[in-house]
Every structure is written in structure tokens, then in C-alpha cells.
A = this chain, B = another copy of it.
Amino acid sequence: MKLDEKHFDELENNLNGRPNLAVKPENDLFLRACKKLPVERTPVWIMRQAGRYLPEYRAVREKTDFITMCHTPELASLVTIQPVDIINVDAAIIFSDILVIPEAMGMKFEMLESRGPVFQRPIRNEDDAGTLNEIDPIKDLKFVLDAVSLTKKALNGRVPLIGFSGSPWTLLTYMVEGKGSKNFSHIKRLIYNNPSLAHKVLDKLAKAVADYLSAKIEAGVDAVQIFDTWGGILTQNDFEEFSLYYISKVISQIKRKTEPVIVFSKGVHYKLDRLANTGADVIGLDWTMELGEVKKNIGNKVALQGNLDPTMLYAGKEKIREEVKRILSSFGEGSGHIFNLGHGILPDVDPENAKAMVQFVKEESKIFHCKDVNAQNL
């Protein structure tokens, strides 16, 4: 689907004429919280905040398809900035898809509205794996890097910009299953019956992910998040062997200065101490975890991100405020908490509720940072 020229002109107008002056974002609460530095209030952003729940996103999406949006820097940039303007979050996250890496390796996929991504030829054996190309993100994923540059320019230092990737394990799971799965039969067959092939591809993916995130940082993102969406389907030993090991490898190979790394392993309620030792600055938690308990265990090593139940945004505003307060007080006093949902925002959520949640975090979190503010004023 082609976009009309007028639309592109609007985009250009939108993106040009804003010089990229600020090196340090005006609002750097998110970055300070990642490093557990004093903040005046808890920063907040929303996983999948550039998404279908926003009418403004759907208006762009109506004129094109999902994959074209990912491939077109102007469009990716446009929808990346929407939630900063509309929902007032403290960080932007570049609009993209975790499957751009397998795609760049040569795996074509379709995005079906009802079923999610479907690969034409999933990886099931050595022959399939042999077709995967090594990638050079600067060449093969230039469209993402261009989107980063454009977005940095358009953001003009208002808030930090986050880049992201799937974890090697999560990418492998998609590549092997080929589509959404309930029981993960194919990937489990692979790791139980041919673990060496799994490790071979994971190794290749770890390099690709590290290179990709390094290139994003080079292009201007201020932080990166690794989505380990399928870490939680594994036994504890298998998580260590097939997911955690490669997350550590990626983190150790990312070229970065002070840019924080966030790891979100959904459903991984165990081995949090091991996750905290991967070199990550922040650990993301789903809504089944208690922030206060996790803080006790690993809060001395890392900051924590999360963890409102995404379906809580179906509730009335007072209930949302109450739950925001509960989560803030579960974490308690001090820096090192980035408020977020415990998983991506759902497409049928009322944007007003997302906006209210952000506002509640801003209002209700100040009292937990009185000491931080005093520390800054010293």
C-alpha cells in the first residue's frame, strides 16, 4: 500500500525544523531511575505504547500495513512520538517489531491481524538453519537506525528514546514455531532432541542482537530493552541454558557508554538473582510479582520496571489510581523504580485510562522520593 504524497509531506514537516540540540534529555527521570539516581518522582512509560489502542496510531496504520510501517522510518518515527504527546510518558520507545532480525536473516513473515506473525518457512532442522544469513544491522536494518535518527531529531530532547530487541531465545522460539503457539511443541522438541542446533542458532542470534542494539545506541537511543517474552515457558535449568546465558552474552557484547539495559523476562519468577547478574541495569517484572519482595532480593543490584496488570486499564479511574498507589508503595521509598505495565498495553484499552494511569503515577509517586529530592538539594 502506498501512502499519498500529502501524508509524507506532513510527516516531513513534522520531523524537520527541530534541531537536535539536547544531548541530555530535558526529562531524564527515566534514565536516572534506571541507574538508581535520585529522582523527584517515579518515571513511567508503557510497553507497546505506540500501538493500536491509540486512534492516532490506527489512523496511520489504516493507510499502510504493519510491516511497511516498520520499514518506513518516517512512519515508525511518527507513531513513536504519538504517546509522548498524547499519553505524556517519560520515555519513547522506537516503533518496530522484534522479528526484523529474523527477517533480515532471510525469513519472510506475514503479519495477520487475527493470528499475529506467521513465517513462511520455520526453522526445524539443520537445512532450515543453514539458510539464515549473518546480518550487518548498519546495512540490513538501516530503516530502524534511520527511524532512530529521525525520532531523536523530532523528540528534540524532550524525553529519552528506548531501542529494543527480542532476546535470542524469544527470537528462536518465533523462528521455530513459525506462528503463535499454545504448547510450544516445536521449540521444545528442538531443545530436547537437538540442543546443539538450538545453541548454534542462539549463538548466531546473540551476535545479531548485540550488533543490532549497539547500532541503535550508535544511532542515538538512550537505553535498550531486551524482550524475553518466552523465557517463562522453560524449566529453571533450561531457562539458564537457553535464555539467560544468551542474554548475558548479548549484554556483555553491546557497545555502550552509559546507556542502561533493561531485561524483561515474562513469567520468569525464578532466578531473578541470576538475571540481576547479567549486567542488566533494570529488570522488568510481570504483574504476578510483588515489587517489594523482589526489591528485597535484588534491589541492591538493579532497578525494577513494572508491573500493573495490563487488564487493570479496563477498570474505572479510581480503581486504577488505587492500584497505581499499591504498586508504588510495594516498591516503597527511593529511586530505582520505573513504572510500567506488566506486559504490553492491550489494543482495546481506552487511551484516556492510559493517560490517567500516567498522571496518577506522576501525582502519587512524589511522596516516595522526598529523600531523593533532599539528596539532590544537598
Which residues from chain A sit less than 8 Å from chain B, CB to CB?
Answer: 183-185, 188-189, 192-193, 232, 234-238, 267, 269-270, 287-290, 309-312, 314-316, 319, 326, 346, 348
Contacts and interface: CB of A to CB of B under 8 A. Distances in A.
A189 B288 contact: no
Given A193-B316, A269-B288, A290-B270, A309 B232 contact: no
A192 B315 CA distance: 5
Contacts of A234: 288
A82 to B, nearest CB: 22
Give the one of A193, A234, A235, A238 with max B CB within 10 A.
A235
30 contacts: A183-B310, A185-B311, A185-B314, A185-B346, A185-B348, A188-B309, A188-B311, A188-B312, A189-B311, A189-B315, A192-B312, A192-B314, A192-B315, A192-B316, A192-B319, A193-B315, A193-B316, A193-B319, A235-B287, A235-B288, A235-B309, A236-B288, A237-B326, A238-B309, A267-B267, A269-B270, A269-B288, A270-B288, A270-B289, A270-B290
Contact of A346 (B183, B269, B270, B310): B183
Contacts of A237: 326
Given A235-B288, A309-B235, A348-B185, A193 B314 contact: yes
A311 B192 CA distance: 9
B183 A232 contact: no
A5 B288 CA distance: 52
* Identical copies of this chain, number: 2
A314 B189 contact: yes
A314 B184 CA distance: 11
B193 A311 contact: no
Contacts of A311: 183-185, 188-189, 192
Give the one of A193, A267, A314 with max B CB within 10 A.
A314
Given A192-B314, A193-B314, A314-B185, A288 B309 contact: no
Given A183-B311, A192-B311, 20 more contacts: A183-B346, A184-B311, A185-B348, A188-B309, A188-B311, A188-B312, A188-B314, A192-B312, A192-B314, A192-B319, A193-B316, A193-B319, A232-B288, A234-B288, A235-B288, A236-B290, A237-B326, A238-B309, A269-B270, A269-B288
A290 B234 CA distance: 12
Nearest to A232: B288
A232 B237 CA distance: 21
A185 B315 CA distance: 11
Contacts of A348: 185
A189 to B, nearest CB: 5
A142 to B, nearest CB: 34
Contacts of A290: 236, 270
A319 B312 CA distance: 42
Nearest to A344: B183
A237 B329 CA distance: 14
Nearest to A233: B288
Contacts of A236: 288, 290
A166 B153 CA distance: 55
A290 B238 CA distance: 12
Contacts of A235: 287-288, 309
Nearest to A348: B185
Ranked 5 nearest A-B pairs via Cβ: A188-B311, A192-B315, A269-B269, A189-B314, A235-B287
